[in-house]
Each structure stands twice: as structure tokens, then as C-alpha cells.
Structure 1
Amino acid sequence: MAKVFGANDLSQGTGLGAAKILGGDNAERSSRSPTVEPPSEKDTSGGDQASKKETAPSGSAEPSEKTKEKPPRPVDRKVPDDEVDTGRGLARSLTLTNCVTMIVGCIIGSGIFISPTGVQEGAGSVGLSLIIWIVCGFWCALGAYCYAELGTLITKSGGDYAYIMEAFGPFIAFLRLWIESIVVRPAALAIVGMTFALYALRPIYPDCDPPKWSIELLALGMIVILCGINCWSVNLTTSVQDWFTYAKLAALIAVIGTGGYRFFFGGAKYRDSFDNLFEGTSRDISQPAVAFFSGLYAYQGWTYLNFVTEELINPRRNLPLAVMISMIIVTLVYVLYNCALYVVLSPDEMLISPAVAGLFAEKEFGKLAFLMPIIVAISTVGSANGLIMTSSRLFFCGAREGHMPVILAMINKEHRTPIPAVVFTCLVAVGYLFTAGHIYVLINASQVTIWIAIFVVTLALFKLRYSMPDAPRSVKVYIIAPIIFTIGTGALIVLSVIGAPFDTVFGLLILFSAVPIYVIFVCIGLPRPLRRVMHHFTAFWQKLFLLVDDNKEK
């Protein structure tokens, strides 16, 4: 870990009341890490018995066949220290199934129900639209595979933040943490909450928009309930994620099944959209690029599993396997879902309203069409739950490295959940709920910073291959994959800058507003009176929620 300026102040508890982040502190954390002693030669090779035989007197009798000891059993593979659940810190409890539902549940949200309109508008034809959905899935799978190599090399939670920290040091990592903590994660959670409320209230207000207070109240209720679940139990959190993922997949499969039935048994009118697949294809190269961005929006969430790596059982196996399974599932479901839409709706009807799922339901389900908004609401619950879990781990890791208040690096002794980090995530999101007019401006402005972060992470992959060539990697992608992904991500950044220069400048201003924060609170540190206040504040919440410092837990 690279050193940070102002180390002496930090060692006295400065910098947002944070823990030490120097190499010495890393050594302290290493000293408390679970260690598995290597088997001695006596235990593994039978060498002790052999030496006794060699030093025995030459006249001693040879042991009989019955008294001869059996050859030692082969030694089991030594479990790496970073895969052992020691009963301290965050619990390693996420199975392969939990990992798959985490990725699928985070990706499939409201995006798939509104993005088809944007993709069709930019593509101009059914054929190009479906190709864009496939390419978007392949593109995100390529990026997820690059992230899988980093996740199996650096098995710490924190995702982008952890990889940038390891490759480029604490300052660049802090910039990433800053934009995520003050804008991206809480604002995204607030938007998901309002989307849930809007669709959940649609059956009650079918002909008009619900009152603003009802949307805010219902969104607040969902966030508070999910916050409580995430604070109480990791197992309960993953169960909620599992079942809501199964529910949204079942709903999408029902739509796909309906479209498939109509295509094969409904008559020629249901196959009209597929007669001339590329009729109307846009000739303006910028339009398919816009469609590509709309498709990528529906795939957001493919990086989220890397934020909870420390809680995965056997991460070196399960992380890449979960990535592969999840991206295949999501891409297949998305393409078939869009095919089902084109069976029932014409390309022109796809452009009438972003709520294409509602139009599909009105045509096919009749009086049961009110179920579609409920299905969309269910999808958002799973996304919000995954967002809270992964965001809280990001802030937990940032505090553990000394980049956020130390209270956020604490976990409940009994439940082993990062309660302060979960509550922080939800509190900031609730604050955004009541400033709804500014959320979308901030989200749009921060989009370019997200792609910049992904670009830097892919550069980190090259850097770590050079600086850690012999480190164990259960996944090592072909070098052409990160090269293609890096070039493509750079192109996306350029297109974002050209297409939305104001949002880009605003987003970069938010990003670099972290520089004075880093200098004042991390490098220099808090004044002594404020350190004393932070100490009492931290001690109060420790006693209230039975919290222990993950950096100091024995």
C-alpha cells in the first residue's frame, strides 16, 4: 500500500477519525489476519519415521508387516489465508448461487423496462436493435471477465477502489471513493426507490401521476426496510436478493413465453417485425452510439460482486464462475425479452412510450395488465437491496483504509454486519429523495466519471500484471481482452464528452472537489478538538450497536 502524506497525524487518529493507512498499519492488519501454518515435514512426508529407521541399530529386527505403519495420507491443499472464515470481520457466507443472484439481481432492474425504446430509436431497425443488445451483453461480459482476474488476484472487498488503491495508490483511489460516496451510490439508490414507488402506485393511480408526497413516503419506507434487513443479517439480505431475483426472472420468462407462443402459433401478424429485420436502419453513425449507451444502461451492475469479495466462499473459484453464469443469463434474457416485445409491438409502437412493458401487458394480458407495474416494482427492490449491500462494503473498505470516518469500518459483534456503513448509505440516499429535482443532474454529470473509473481499473490490470507477475491468479484473461476493453472504454469516454460537454465538466468538477478534502482531512488531519469529538461520537455508537473496529478486532 502506498504511503500517504501526513502519516504522523494519521497515526494519532486524525483524518476523519480514521484508522492508520500506512504500510505499518497494513502490517498490523496482516498480523491479525488468520494464518495457516504450513505442515511440518514430520506431518507431511513421514520423514520423522524414516529418520528413526535410519538411526536404528543395525542389529534391530525389521518390523513385521502388521506393525509397519501405513504411508501418510496426502496433505490437503493449504487454504489461502484470505479464504478462511475466522469468525472475525465480515462473514464468508456467499455461495455461488448467492453470487449469481447478486449480479443478476443488480443488473435486472427498471432499465430493461425502459431502455428498449432508446435502443430502437437509435438503431432504427429491429435487426440492429437486437444486435446492439447482444453487443452490449458481450461488452459487459468482457469487462466483467477483466474484473474477475482482478478480483481473484486482490481478494479484498471494495471493487474499483481496492484495485486502484493497489495499482496507483491512495490518492487516485480516494477520488473514486469520493464520487461514489457523495453522488453515484446514494443518488442511484434514491432513484431506484422513487422508481419503485412510482410503479407500485401505478395500479392505484392508473390515469394520472401519484402525489409527490406518496412517492417520497413509499420510497422512504422501502429504503428503511432494506436498511434494517442489511443491518440485521447477511443471510437474510442474500435470501431477499435470491427470491426477488427469482421473481423478476420468472416475470421476464412469462413475457418471453407469451411472445414465443404468439410468434409460433399466433398468425402472420405477429411476425411482421421480423420480415425485414434491417428496414429503417439509421445511417447516422451517432444514432447507434446513442442506442449503445441506452443498452449499457440496462446492463449496469456487472461490477457489483467485486465489492463484496471478502464475503464470498472460495472467491477464486466462485467469482469468475458467477460472472460467467450471470452474464450469459442476463444477455440471453434481455435478447429474448426484446424479441418478445417485437412480436407483439411494432417498431413504431416501441417509440410511443418508454413504458413498453405496459403496452405489451395491455395488449396481451388485458385486465391483468396492472401486474406489469408490480413486476417492475419487484425488480427495483432486488436492485436496491444489492445496491445497499455493495455500497456499504465500499464505504466500509474506504474507512478501513483511513479515507472515511473510522466508525464506518466497524461491524456488529453478533451479526457481523457493517451497520454504520449501511446506515450511512441509506441516510444519504434519503437526503437525495427530498432533492429529487437535482438528482438526475448529478447522476448525468457523474456518468462520465464512472467510465473513467472503469478505464483506470483496466489500466490497473496491466500495471498489476507487470508489478505482480508471479502472484496467484485463478483467472488470467488473454491480453487482447483488456486491450480491446480499454480502447472501447476510452472511446465511450470521448463520446460522452462530445455528446454532453456540460455534464462532463460538471462531473469532473465534482470529482476533483475531492482534492482539498483529501489534503485537509487525510494528509493534514482533523484538529485535536475535533478528534476528541469524533472519539466520543464513535464510542457512543460503538456502545449503542455493539460495534467492533475491524482494524483492531482480535
Structure 2
Amino acid sequence: MDDDSIKKRKESQNGSTSPSIVSHTKDEKPVKATVLQKDVGLVSGICLIVGTMIGSGIFISPKSVLLYSGAVGPCLLIWAACGVLATLGALCYAELGTMITKSGGEYSYLMEAYGPIPAYLFSWTTVMVLKPSSFAIITLSFAKYASTPFYPDCTPPEVVSKCLAAAAILVIVTVNSLSVKLASYVQNFFTAAKLLIILIIVVAGIVLLAQGNTENLTNAFDGTAQSFGAIGLAFYNGLWAYDGWNQLNFITEELINPYRNLPLAIIIGIPLVGVCYVMVNVAYFTVMTTNELLLSPAVAVTFGDRVLHPMSWIVPLFVVFSTFGSANGSCFTAGRLAYVSGREGHMVKILSYISLKRYTPAPALIFNGLLAIIYIMPADINTLINYFSFAQWMFYGMTALCLIVMRFTKKELHRPVKVPIVIPVLMVLVSCYLVLAPIIDKPQLEYLYCTIFIFGGLLLYYPFVHLKVNWARKIMRPITMHLQLLMEVVPPEKTE
């Protein structure tokens, strides 16, 4: 970059920024301001929601819902009800996202409604544990199915799966760091691939139903679980499969026409996933009894072996595509949360810097990828996610409560989308139940450890964020400078 360009960048960082996204000089071509660009359209938004929600779960183990519901009928009803709940939650987020058009999802809404401390605790928990560990789990699932064909007679060695998962993380982080449009194209392709295999399974199921394979769907409510707690756990597992319905709110600043495209993508994407989940489960029940489904290690693979032979190999192939697409969507949104947290001063500043050439939050993406690789190393990180999942629903409930609080405290804010107040009230109640149900059902010390970790973040908040101790800033300044030069990143410019 020449001296004039460097000077212009420095002036913009000192506050003399043009109010438009694109600045012009007399003899130069238009230069984009160093902010996240609006490159995500409606189709890409729908693909991000659908592609992140549909991971490996619907293909591998929908049996948890069946196990706790006890029969086919309530199992299908619970899948449908979970879709309705996810849609209601997403509608609350649509109002919040069009009212507060900042990236970062829950972080921005908690900041606006409650102030910095709840927002900090959310970013601390999500950036450090929930997002990277979820990224790690998805890529491990990808690695398992990608390596299985090379080990036909045995389970792939753990070191192979972990190395392949780490390689997938590196590829996904690189793609997302290079270009928002490239990451969107990757997401669109893999979402189309997973919808194709779902279409194949659903059509095969409809053909089997038409041929009279309805034995497993008769007397569908015999054996229904009578325990309120068991039904609650069935809902818990179903909603886990729908997790990802809030992903678009993490990238609101990059969404073209968010007032239109955010609610539209939600209204199209989430019901589409709900219909897919119910129809795929119906297809499974056309060829498997409840006992066979519960014993199957990978339900879609069993379905493929029985129905699609000799083309049954396409099922594990498309599971690989599905998990890779889900991991890409997870990385895309996780980077934006770390970026916004850094911009607000709740994480180190380097995380809020943007690539000067690519206009992507490269440091935040790389940080999330490094943490994910670290989480791959332990023997079983699924346990970690299971114990932290109650925290996720705690933040969902607090975010839904934001909507109710701001109806009274922020009446002046423009609300292009306004949902009936009963919807956020219902989401708060459901969230409270889902937070308390696993703890009451099986109280374990691990939940206490997770709670200590969450609130332990305050030990860092008080000295480094609230007091802004000088010695910490002196240590970080040269590190930030060297990383900035190495990665060619700059602070985001302020635009009006």
C-alpha cells in the first residue's frame, strides 16, 4: 500500500471518516471503508439458517426423541412442536434484529437491555466454550464419516479422525477469512446437498407409504411416556436438533436489507427445517420398527442400506456434506460474535480488527478455529457441551426477556417487526423449564462447575474491562501491533 493510502487509513482511524461506506479520492478508484460489507442476500441467509440447523443429528440419531417419548405418535408430534417453538423463538429474534441492527446476536440485545455485565458473561461463555466446542464436535462428526470408507472392517483410529477434523477446521477458517462471498457460496452448495439427500429420503418414504408400509405408524400412541419429565427430555433433545435458528442474527450488519431479509429468511428457513425433520422421521418409520430405530447406530445409513441399495453409499457421503456445511455456518457466525465483543472492549481488541484486503473479521475467525482445535484434543468433549447446554437456554431466555423489557424501557426504538407479547413470554417459560429440567432430573456437580466458569468471567471483567488496568494495556499494545502487521488487519472504521 502506498504512503497516501496509509495516510488516508490513519486519518480514518483518528475520526475523520467519511459517512459513506465507500470513500473517494480525486485520482483513485473508490475505496471501501474497512467495515464488514453487506454481502449476504436472502438466499444466502436462508441457506445459513437451514445449513447450520441441519447437521448430522437428523441423519444419525433421532432416536433420543423416540426413547423419551415412548411411541411413534408423540415422537412425531414433538418434532413438529419443536419446530413451532424454534419458529416462535426466531420471530422474537426477528423483532430484536430489525430493532437493533448490530451483528453479534444475543450479545447486542443483552447489552442494549441490561448493560455490559450480562452481555460480557454471554460473550465470555459463548466465545470461549460454546461456539468453538460446537465447531469441534461438528468437525469430529464430519471426520468420522469421511474416514469410515477407508476403514471398512473397523472403526477409524482416533488420531486419524482428530487430524481430519483439525484439517477441516483449517480449511473452513481459511475460506471464511478469504471472502464473505466465498463462504456464502460454500454454505449455499452444502445446504443444497443436504436438502437433496433429505428430498431423496422423503420421496423414498412417500413411495413406501404408498406401497402400504404403514405397520409402524398404526397404533402410533401405544406406549406413550406418562412421565412429564420424560416428555420434557424428549423436547430437550428435539430442540437440540433445531439449534441454530438464531444464527442469522449474528451477521445482521452484513445482511442486505435486514428489515426485509431477516424476518423473511426466518419465516422460510425454520418451517422448512421443521417439515424436513417430520417427513424424514416418517420415512424412517416406514422401514424400521421402534426397536430397530433405537438400536441403529446411524438411522439414515440403516435406511439407505434397506431402501437405496445399491446406491446406499450416497447417504454417508451426503452426511459428510451436511456436517461440513454445518461447520462452515457455525464458523461464519462465531467469528462475528468474537468480532463484536472485541469491538465493545469485552475481548482483546485484535479480535475486532478487519482484513484490509478481504473485509473479513479474520482474527476473530482464526481465534475461534484455534480454540476448536484445542477442544478436539480431549477424549470426550460431548460431555462438555451437554453440561454447558443449560447455559445456552439460559441466554435464550434472557434474550426473549430483553424483548419484554425493551417494550417498556425502549419505547422510542423503531420496530419494523413486532410480535405479540405472548410469544416472548412463552419463550421465557420454555427456557426456564429447559434450564432447570436436566439439573432437577439428574443433579450433578458438573452443572455447578459450569456455573462457576460462567460467573468466573467476572474476575477478568473487573480489572481488564471495567478498570482498564494500565499494565495489561501496555502488555497487549505491542502484541496487537505485531499481529496487526502480520495479518494485515485494521480497526473497523466508524460509519453513519
> In structure 2, what is the Cα distance between the partners aligned to 1:277 and 1:112?
20
From the CA coordinates, give the structure whose radius of gyration is larger.
Answer: 1
Contact 1:115 1:297 in 2 (8 A): no
Residue 213 (str. 1) matches residue 170 (str. 2)? no
Measure the CA separation in 1 of the matches of 2:229 and 2:427: 20
What TM-score does the superposition give when structure 1 sets the normalisation length?
Answer: 0.82
Q: Which residue of 2 aligns with 1:330?
A: 273
Deviation at residue 527 of structure 1 after TM alignment: 4.0
Percent identity reads 38
How far has the Cα of 1:193 moved from its partner?
0.9
> Where does residue 94 of structure 2 map in the other structure?
148
2:348 to 382, 405, 409: 405
Question: Which one-letter code corresponds to 2:73 in the other structure?
Answer: G
Q: CA deviation at 1:251?
A: 0.5
CA contact (8 A) 1:411 1:417 kept: yes
CA distance in structure 2 between the partners assigned to 1:29 and 1:100 by the alignment: 38
- In structure 1, the partner of 2:262 is 319
Alignment correspondent of 1:78: none
**Unaligned 5+ residue runs, structure 1?**
1-27, 37-84
Offset at residue 86 of structure 1 (A) = 6.7
Name the amino acid aligned to 2:313. F
Residue of structure 2 equivalent to 1:242: 188
Q: 112-121 or 227-236: which moved more?
A: 112-121
Partner Cα distance (2:338, 2:415) in 1 = 26
- Tell me which amino acid in the other structure corresponds to 1:532: K
C-alpha displacement of 1:219 = 0.5
Shift of 1:524: 2.6
SS of the aligned residue for 2:295 comes to coil
Aligned to 1:111: 57
The aligned residue for residue 432 of structure 2 is: 490
Correspondence for 1:281: 224
Aligned position for 1:59: none
State the AA in 1 paired with 2:183.
T
Higher alpha-carbon deviation: 137-146 or 106-115: 106-115
Aligned partners of 1:99 and 1:319 also within 8 Å: yes
Q: What does the per-residue CA deviation read over 1:439-474, in whole Å, with 9 as the maximum and x for residues that have no partner?
A: 223212211111110111111111111122132111
Distance 2:207 2:18 in 1: 56
* Residue 34 (str. 1) matches residue 33 (str. 2): no
Q: Does the 8 A contact of 2:34 with 2:354 survive in 1?
A: no
After TM superposition, give the deviation of residue 114 of structure 1 in Å. 3.2
How many matched pairs? 474
Q: Which residue of 2 aligns with 1:370?
A: 313
* 1:394 counterpart = 2:343: no
**Partner residue of 1:423?**
366
Match of 2:421 in 1: 479
Q: d(CA) in 2 for partners of 1:442 and 1:493? A: 16
Q: For residues 113-262 of structure 1, what are the structure 2 equivalents within 5 Å? A: 113-262=59-208
Counterparts of 1:101 and 1:498, CA distance in 2: 37
* Contact 1:203/1:373 (<8 A) preserved: no
Counterpart of 2:407 in structure 1 is 465
SS in structure 1 at match of 2:245: coil
Q: Over aligned residues, Cα RMSD in angstroms?
A: 2.0
Offset from partner CA, 1:404-437 (integer Å, 9 cap, x none): 1111110011210011001000001011111233
Which residue does 1:445 correspond to in 2? 387
Cα distance in structure 2, aligned partners of 1:164 and 1:298: 25
**Which runs of 5 or more residues in structure 2 are unaligned?**
1-12, 22-30
What TM-score do the two structures reach when normalised by structure 2? 0.92
* Cα distance in 1 between the residues matched to 2:177 and 2:35: 14
CA contact under 8 A between 1:496 and 1:504: conserved in structure 2? no
Corresponding residue number in structure 2 for 1:15: none
Change (3 A) 1:31 1:122: farther
Residue 368 of structure 1 aligns to a residue whose secondary structure is: coil
Letter in 1 for 2:328: N
Contact 1:106 1:301 in 2 (8 A): yes
Distance of aligned partners of 1:371 and 1:203 in 2 relative to their CA distance in 1, 3 Å threshold: farther
Indicate the larger mover: 107-116 or 449-458: 107-116
Equivalent of residue 544 in structure 1, options 467, 486, 496? 486
